[in-house]
Structure 1
Amino acid sequence: MRAAGFPAGEWQTAGVRMSHFWTLMDDEFGAAYAGSLARDHVIGALGNRTAAQALADGEPPRAVWEALCVDMDVPPARRLGRDTRVARGAEGGRSGR
């Protein structure tokens, strides 16, 4: 399946799903501040809208996340989120085995 606007066969990164957007927000800014930031911080690159407004208007979560990262000076190394999560289906450090 290809994203709209990309020619068939052209490499592209996967879009960020809404749930992943909020995971990234929580990881980078903390759960308490992430919601406030999304509701209150106006981002010029999003047409002077907040992240919440841009998402409600149908902007792709990935574009909103990237604009927010630029605006908040999130270093590129942290823009993909934490790499400490356990893969779905993995034992995840369960003890007693």
Structure 2
Amino acid sequence: MRHTEFWARMEDALGAGYARAWAEQQVISDLGHRTVTEALDAGESPKQVWRAVWERLGLPPSEK
């Protein structure tokens, strides 16, 4: 997964106006107690970060 696809999924799940703010504020334990933005900046793969976001938001399997 590329970063562009990751951010498109984030916007689909949370809305264009909220996705980046959520990514900067929500600390997720599956990401080493980092925010989405911190995990991506540290080099975590967008696919791995998306899995953690998907789990945290309780999104349906079709969005995995």
TM-score, normalising length from structure 1? 0.64
**In the alignment, which residue of structure 2 is the partner of 1:69?**
54
Match of 1:32 among 9, 14, 17: 17
Moved over 4 A (4+): none
Spell out the pairing of 1:1-97 with structure 2 (5 A cutoff).
16-79=1-64
| Structure with the bigger percentage of helix | 2
Query: Which of the pair has more CA radius of gyration?
Result: 1
**What's the C-alpha RMSD, in Å, of the aligned pairs?**
0.8
> Structure 1, residues 12-65: CA drift from partner, whole Å, max 9, x if none?
xxxx10011001111111001101111000000000000000000000000000
Gap regions ≥5 residues in structure 2:
none
> 1:61-97: CA deviations, max 9, x gaps?
0000010110111111123xxxxxxxxxxxxxxxxxx
* Number of residue pairs matched by the alignment: 64
CA distance in 1, matches of 2:53, 2:11: 13
Percent identity between the aligned chains?
Answer: 41
Q: Which residue in the other structure is 1:11 paired with? A: none
Secondary structure in 1 matching 2:43: coil
